[in-house]
Structure 1
Amino acid sequence: MTVHILLTGASRGIGAAIAATLDAPGIRLATQATTGPLATDFNQPVAAPSLWQRALDALDGRIDVLINNAGVFEATPIDSSDAEWLAGWERTMRINLTAAAELSRLAVLHWQGRESGGRIVNIASRAAHRGDSPAHWHYAASKAGMVAMTKTIARAYAAQGILAFSICPGFTMTGMAEEYLASRGGDKLLADIPLGRVAMPDEVATMARFCALEAPASMTGAVLDVNGASYVR
C-alpha cells in the first residue's frame, strides 16, 4: 500500500533533504512550505488545522505519517524590550511547538477514527537537552517541549499502533546554522564537536526516513541524536 506522508518545513535545509529522500515509489508526499499549494504561516492560530485539511484533500483523505520539521531559529536577546522579548518567545513557541502539537493531535484523531496506526516524526534539536545561547531560551524550550510531547504521544497511544519518534540534530549545515556559526565564531563551535564537522541535512533525512517507514514499533518514544557526539546521553 502506498504510504501517504505530510512533511512540514520542506522549503530548504533538513526539510528539503527529507523530501528528497522520500521521493520514491510507494510514497505520496504532501509538503508544506512558504510557497506553493500547501503554503502555511504557522504564526497564525488557524494555520495548522487549515494545512491538515488541505493535506488530507491532496492525499485523498488519508495521511499515514506526519513529519513535523517546520521551525524558526531567531535570536531574542535578554536585553530586548519586554514587548520584543515576549513577542519573540511567543512566535517561536507557536511555530516550533504549538503548530506541531496541533498537527500531531489531528493526526492521532485521524488514526483513531480509522482504527489504524500511524507515525509521527518530530525534528527537535540538541538544544532540547543541552540548551542554547543566551539569546535562544525560547528555541531550546520549544524543542524540549517537542521531545516531551513525542514521549507522551508514544506512551499514550502505542497500544493503538500510533508511534512517535524525535530526532535531535546538533548544528546542521542549513541556512539557519550557517548564520549562527558565523555569528558565534565558527571554529570555536566546531571544536566542540568531536566529529569535527556539523551534520549534513541528508544525514538527518536518513534518520527521518527510517523513523517514518522502517523503525520497529518497539522503538516508539525514542529520541535519536545526530550531533557528532557534541552531546551524549
Structure 2
Amino acid sequence: MDDGVPDVAVVTGASRGIGAAIALRAAAAGYAVVVNYSTDADGARNVVAEIQAKGGTAGSVQADVSDPSQVAALFDAAAAVGPVTAVVNNAGITGNLIGNLADVPSETIRRVVDVNVSGLIFVCQEAVRRLSTGSGGRGGSIVNVSSTATKAGSPGTWAHYAASKGAVDVLTVGLASEVAKQGIRVNCVAPGSTNTGLHAAAGMPDRVERLNPGIPMGRGADPDEVAAAVMWLMSDDAGYITGAVLPVSGGR
C-alpha cells in the first residue's frame, strides 16, 4: 500500500555488528527503521545518525527483549512511525564466557536462554499480533538470526549458546507454518563465523582468524554479508519462501 507512510522495520540488537548492518540495509531499502538496543545507547545513536546522514529514516528504542512488556512498548513506538511489516530478531548473547558447559554458571545459562529463546519468542508473538492480516495488519516478514553453531554444538566454548540457537531454528519452522495464511513469512539466517565484537567481548579477539582454516572459503563473514541474506529473505524476491533456515557460513 502506497499511502505516503513508510513501512517500518524493527531490528532488535541493532546497535552494532550484524544488527547494525541489517538496520543500515533496511533503511537503504526504504524502510523506516527502529533500531532496538538493550544497553548500548551510544551505539544505537551512531547507527541512527548514519542512517539519517544517508537520507533514511530511523530512531532508536531501548528495550530488553526478555521482558514482554518492554517488547510491547518497542512495537508501540514502532507503530507510531508507521505500519510494521518487517521484524528482524537479531538480539542475542553468549554470556561472554568460554569453556565447558559444566563450568558455566547457572545465572549465565538463564540469561542466555532468557534473551536468545524467550526474548525471541516474545518478539515473534508481538510481531504476529501487529503483522497478521487477520488482525488488520499488512502482513510482512519475520527473519530470525540463528547460528551455524547448531551444527557442531560449540563444544568447549558456547554449548549453551548453540543450544539456544537450536531453539531458534525449530521455532522458525513451527511459526512459519502457523502464520503462513496470515500474510506472514518467517525465515531464519544462520551466520557462521562473523567478524563482529562478539568474540572479543568473550575474551577471544582472534577466534574468527583461528577458525578460518576450517572454512571452505577461508575467511569469516563480514556483517554486511549476513545483512544481505536477511534483506533477501525480507524482500519480495523471497515471496514463496517461509520456514527456511539459510546458512551464511562460507560453506562450513
TM-score band (shorter)? 0.7 to 0.9
Q: 2:67 & 2:245 partners in 1: Cα distance?
A: 29
**Aligned in 2, Cα 1:3/1:86: closer, same or farther, shift over 3 Å?**
same
The answer to whether structure 1 residue 105 and structure 2 residue 125 are counterparts is yes
Say whether the 8 Å CA contact 1:7–1:66 is kept in structure 2: yes
Q: Give the letter aligned to residue 76 of structure 2.
A: Q
One-letter amino acid matched to 2:125: R
- What RMSD in Å do the two structures reach over aligned CA positions? 2.3
- Whether 1:28 and 2:28 are equivalent positions in the alignment is no
Equivalent residues of 1:76, 1:85 under 8 A apart? no
Cα distance change of structure 1 residues 190 and 163 upon mapping to structure 2, 3 Å threshold: same
Residue by residue over 1:31-79, the C-alpha shift from the partner in whole angstroms, topping out at 9 and shown as x without a partner, is: 102326511233545332232222223x24x211110111112226435
The answer to whether the 8 Å contact 2:172/2:243 transfers is yes
- 1:132 partner amino acid: S
Distance 1:228 1:55 in 2: 34
TM-score if structure 2 supplies the norm length?
A: 0.81
User: What is the aligned partner in structure 2 of residue 71 from structure 1?
Assistant: 92
Matched, 1:39 2:59: no
Instruction: Work out the CA distance in 1 between the residues paired with 2:208 and 2:65.
Output: 30
CA distance in 1, matches of 2:208, 2:29: 40
**Compared CA separation, residues 182 and 86, structure 1 to 2 (3 A):** closer
1:144 has 2:166 as partner? yes
Gaps of 5+ in 2: 46-59
Residue matched to 1:198: 220
Residue aligning to 1:14: 18
Counterpart AA for 1:7: V
- Counterpart contact for 1:3–1:64, Cα < 8 Å: yes
After alignment, is 47-56 or 12-21 more displaced? Answer: 47-56
Structure 1 stretches lacking a partner, 5+ long: none
**Equivalent residue of 2:195, what SS?**
coil
- The separation in 1 between residues aligned to 2:129 and 2:14, in whole angstroms, is 24
Aligned to 2:113: 93
**Paired residue total:** 225
Q: TM-score, normalised by structure 1?
A: 0.87
Output the CA distance in 2 between the equivalents of 1:25 and 1:104: 22
Please tell me whether residue 51 in structure 1 is matched to residue 74 in structure 2.
yes
- C-alpha separation in 2, matches of 1:42 and 1:117: 22
Contact 2:93 2:115 in 1 (8 A): yes
In 2, Cα distance between the equivalents of 1:19 and 1:185?
A: 25
Between stretches 48-57 and 35-44, larger displacement belongs to 35-44
Between the aligned partners of 2:226 and 2:178, the Cα distance in structure 1 is 26
